[in-house]
Structure 1
Amino acid sequence: MDSYVIVGLPAYNEEEAIPKVLDKLLFLRDIYGDRLRILVVNDGSTDETEEILKRYSGSYDYINYINHNVNQGLGRAVYTLFYHVSHKYGKGDILITMDADNTHNPKIIPFMVDKLVKEQLDLVIASRFVNGGREIGLSLERKLLSRGAAAFLKLFFPVQNVHDYSSGFRAYDVEYLHRAIMAYGGDLVTSRGFECMAEILARFSKLGVRAGEYPLVLEYNLKQGDSKMKVFRTIKGYLRLPLKVKKPQAKRGEVYE
């Protein structure tokens, strides 16, 4: 495979989980060789996350990190990932985003990449809501939130073949991602909270996106520490999206279907 595969991890105070996650990702080197990159956005962590990243980046030349001086939220960390990757990489390259809390199993990354390439898709989402997908250890409140959000968002922002709107475990075609960022004048991700993943998909729906899903077993039982999600703030963020997300105005020579 000649294309780069970049694994992007937003991380905030993940000193317990991040070494496990990075260790689990090392097998990808055997598959993608020197075309593999791992990039962590350290979102103003106040624990030992940065020190751990320094050790790993010193030991593995394909692991790097970017620091936010203060915590800015998941949305800004994802924005930083998108900005960096879309400027440094291009046609044929693939960005994988996943959580840094050890709840996403990276063993499915090669299957997501294969699906993206073979089916010529713009996006593949690791989904809990397709055959073979499920959740382990997630509270009833969080399950209801995920399913309610998916039903609400699909009503306003339908995307063919997509059921899981809030999963952050995704494979993006970098060329498509760059076009989407340019179409929105750099404002592809404006939410700071966990609703940012739904916002991205909502904006893609306005542009037109070829998307698919791959089964995800969300291993929430492996999560270290409390969830950083603010449930009511996230719900409010979802409810604002129909008013917030509009089709961008096409520039001369461009058509958004």
Structure 2
Amino acid sequence: MNFVFTIVVPVYNEEDNLLRVEKELLAYTKIAIKPTKILFVNDGSKDKSQEIIETICNRNTEFSFISFKENRGLSAAIKAGFDYTNTELVGYIDSDLQTAPEDFNLLLEHIGTYDLVTGVRANRKDSLVKNMSSKIANGIRRSFTHDGMDDTGCPLKVIKTEYAQRIPMFRGLHRFLPAMILLQEGKIIQIPVQHFPRIAGQAKFGVWNRLLGPLADCFAYLWMKKKYINYTVSKQG
């Protein structure tokens, strides 16, 4: 099959979720509007995640994986997934499946016109503290980036791979993907998607990760924006 779309799934200690990930993503490949494959990125998990990932990949040709030697964080896992993608389009979803794989079809409908399509979580099913800290963090980030996005932390995105692979590597990358596409003079849009409570495993982000950490990352983004190199080749011979 000639695949067009790769879904990157970052994994860190998600042994209780992975069989459900397999079931739901395999079901999605049957209804996807673009031929789709899945790439697990194991971010140095210390549980049985790698063993389960290899079992899944051995029995499903649509699944493959890369595995880090040690834990490097969500942004590193997402960036590695982008770098190891060889399809026209790339996206990602968290392995906790608080967003629905079938909603990728909503995003894919717009990717022809846009270079990044991100979900925005409607009726979020998180705690009050988590929702409020995310809302504040998103407001701070928008004031720095002017990207117009309401929910850059939504773990459901589709990007043209040529744009994704030009994004420079830095911690906190996952919060700035729309802004990094704008730096490339790309077009972005947000689309409402479903959201569900986490039913297994442990959340990897606390108040520090969602609020104070992103504030520090905003200053890093401003520095990068000032130094960012962007060019277009008009002729080659």
Shorter chain as normaliser: what TM range? 0.7 to 0.9
Indicate the residue corresponding to 1:125 in structure 2.
118
Is structure 2 residue 179 aligned with structure 1 residue 202?
yes
Q: Does 1:95 align with 2:90?
A: yes
* 1:169 alignment partner in structure 2: 156
TM-score normalised by structure 1 residue count: 0.81
Corresponding residue to 1:135 among 110, 124, 145 = 124
Note the C-alpha offset of 1:242.
3.3
Instruction: Indicate the SS of the match to 1:115.
Output: coil
**2:5–2:34 CA contact under 8 A, matched in 1:** no
Aligned residue for 2:142? 154
Residue 72 of structure 1 deviates from its aligned partner by: 1.3
AA matched with 1:127: V
8 Å CA contact retained: 2:90, 2:159 = yes
Letter of the aligned partner of 2:137 in structure 1? A
**1:205 Cα deviation after fit:** 3.3
Residue 230 of structure 2 corresponds to residue 250 of structure 1: yes
Equivalent AA in structure 2 for residue 135 of structure 1: R
Superposed CA deviations along residues 130-181 of structure 1, whole A, max 9, x for unmatched, are xxx1112x11111011111111111111124x32122121111112223x33
What letter corresponds to residue 149 of structure 1 in structure 2? Answer: A
Deviation readout 1:57-87 (Å, 9 max, x if unpaired): 11111101111121111111112111111xx
Deviating 4+ runs (over 6 angstroms) = none
With the length of structure 2 as denominator, give the TM-score of the two structures.
0.87
| Structure-to-structure mapping, 1:204-243, within 5 angstroms | 204-220=181-197, 222-243=198-219
What is the Cα-based RMSD across aligned positions, in Å? 2.3
Q: Which structure 1 segments of 5+ residues have no match?
A: 182-187
Equivalent residues of 2:133, 2:210 under 8 A apart: no
Separation in 1, partners of 2:96, 2:187: 28
Distance 1:236 1:40 in 2: 29
Q: Tell me the matched-pair count.
A: 230
